Structure 1
Amino acid sequence: MNTQKSEKDKIIDYQLRFQDLLISISTKYINADLSKIDELIEKSLKQIGEFVGADRSYIFTYDFNKNTTKNTYEWCNKGIEAEIENLQEIPLEHLDFWLNSHKNGEAFYVEDVSLLPKEGKLGLYNILQPQGIKSLIAIPKIKNGELIGFVGFDSVKQIHKYTENEKNILFVFANMLVNVIQRKEQEELIKQQKEKKEELLKSLSLQNEQLNDYAQMVSHDLKAPLINIHTLITWFKEDNKIILEKSSIAPLNEVLFNVEKLDYLINGILDYSTIDNQNSENQTVNLNSIIQEVLKLILIPEHITIKVQENLPILRGNNWKFSQLFQNLIQNAIKYNNKPNGNIEIGFTEKENQYQFFVKDNGIGIKAAYFDQIFKVFTKLESTSSSSGIGLSIVKKIVTFYNGKIWLESEEEVGTTFYFTISK
């Protein structure tokens, strides 16, 4: 048993150190002078490569117009030959075996190259074996829903088996690389197009803010749930191999709570990051239909009554965004309603150049000191909830996208009204 716990402690310690390394790298990326981005990327490839025990780490870029890929960054351990000069403008037809995995958003992983089929000059074995590769993992880089390249790790000296947790953390690293390389690309674009400097700097500033939010997520919201899930499930499997005893109920409930918390968090992050990618704006948006569809999707407790004003306006925009906007406000009103008879009202007033909407409840209310904080990403007014703390930040991001404003009026134990405007 002591041996088992010792191994368990080693795994937890490894996860902690791995995540701390990612947080450190992410912080350096956020605060970096963009002229030194290449140096930072190469250093981070070395840090991650050494940490996971790889002998070579690298970044490739896909060019689907030319149907080629090229090696753009590479780190090699001592005694390992560099391959970057040999891996330029490689036809994608030679990489069908892992391109398909990347297009599906999956890692391409070969634990033991020697076990691959050896026939065919363009077979995977005959491509990897001359480079001395024994194990390989390649993580896709995805930008705005599009595959743009991958980050890979070769093991040359010995076979390396990657755990699912290692794979997940390497995906986080790949996303960090996408963000920092995107920053570099935008900086170069600023230099080339001085006439668009103001617009591009605004975009860069926004991305820096999102990167800061992302660093907070890695360091705070993801760290504790990941460790809890891994630790508790491991203990549960070890201590309850035959039957489930009463002593196992409490840790099981805690596992379920953390799973729910992580699920809310990941979904919130995906929704938040997807807002800017919903580009179908030239649509007729019937808010009457959208709100009815939202009410069918969410769970409404029996003690909650929702009243929707008739003849809501018809707008132009994106149906998904307006659905997300109202869904988050309505769910928030339901969740924080402690009254035996909860009432929620949804309506609008027409102004000269805009519509002013409101979502009103008779719930627990919000202290005035928190009015500005609640719209920030990952902000929660209570730590015991499984909420991700992203819902109201999604609402504000959508309203801001349509050049509107959002504010609230609230009194504790009386209720809260959220107001927002949308231009006609």
Structure 2
Amino acid sequence: MNSLGVIVEYNPFHKGHLYHLKKAKEKTNPTHIIAVMSGNFVQRGEPSLINKFARTKMALNNGIDLVVELPFVYSIQDAGGFANGSVGTLARMGKINNLVFGSESNNLELLDEIAEIIYSKPASYNSKLKKYLKEGISYPNARKKALLDILKKQEAKEIIESSNDILGIEYLVHLKKYKSDISPNTIKRIGSKYNEKNLQTEISSATAIREAIYKDGLDDLNDFVPQKTLSILESEITSKRGPINIKDLEKIVFYKLYSLTREELEEYHGVIEGLSKRFLDASKKTNNIYELIDNVKTKRFTRTRIKRTLLNILFEIKKVDVKMINKYGPQYIRVLGFNNNGQEFLSKIKKDIKIPIITTVSKYQNIKKRIDEDMLSHSKYKVNSEVMNYIFKKDILASNIYASLYNKRSKDYLETMDFNNSVIKY
């Protein structure tokens, strides 16, 4: 068996993703392809365009064998937290041989050199990092400066300012953290930049495709997404389960901000250095979420960072919680869908996996009960029951809130999404 792991959002699945899969297959010749995919909320700090089950169908229709969910609490973190959850999931599944990710530089050697510095923290790096932090520079920028001082390479500067390379570095850091023997590889990113808002080349960004859908529906998308993706998008939009965007969260976000004091806000992950005051002041000046984000953001705190922080506030994710879940890592494998090949892979890993595999959400309480009663103390599972329960409850809450954003009160709205949808079998 030669398995390939990919870390994805497929928001939505487009021709750039198809290109990535084709090249990844050429590089690794896999027998099984496993995707760790963000659920109903994504790393840019927004709800996904359509729900995770529809996006799972897209993945299975376009060559993925098994889709597992990146827990919500990791999917809305910065690059480091996102990588902790996604790489941790692949590492703890076992029997994953390769990880292939997109990269602007396509320079795996230099990416790994940077990752090793971040992971091992040599004295020279630590001293420079402390120096810049004492000067009042933010941690991300202090880290960049310290790395450049050590590496003294122009290409390194370009790498640590490129979105896919930044994420790739974190994947490599966390492969080291989990002491994983997964082999990493890169694919040169082509087409539009990830944040390009206009449809341009055939391989246009997911951002541009979403913007086109919000503005004009599905008109003229044939050149930019596979036909199977288009069919699923049509079904979801016709059923009024999409398209969803951050605007749909507006009322509950403002309600949450109105109900909190500055001191309470400061407990939430991402709320640092005066952001609590900026949030409260901005919420008094507008009831428009886009204006709120624009009024809070600064050169140091980007729109994406502000949006992620808003989700932490909305879902009551505190600094102490993030410290806990990042320390312990993923505590279960939540299966969203598979084909026959993916089912075969699951059967192969069940014997040796150290964390539970959840295929039926309603059986979660039975798993937790057995762990709580220490009935698995002589078995294979090595999890922290408190951490597992925290992560699982946030996943369910995220699905419930997402379903409440649908455009009509249908069965999908009234019933819990995670209990109302079974594993997708393709």
TM exceeding 0.5: no
- Structure with higher Rg: it is 1
What TM-score, normalized by structure 1, do the two folds share?
0.26
What TM-score, normalized by structure 2, do the two folds share?
0.26
Higher relative contact order (CA 8 A, sep 6+): 2
Higher strand share: 1
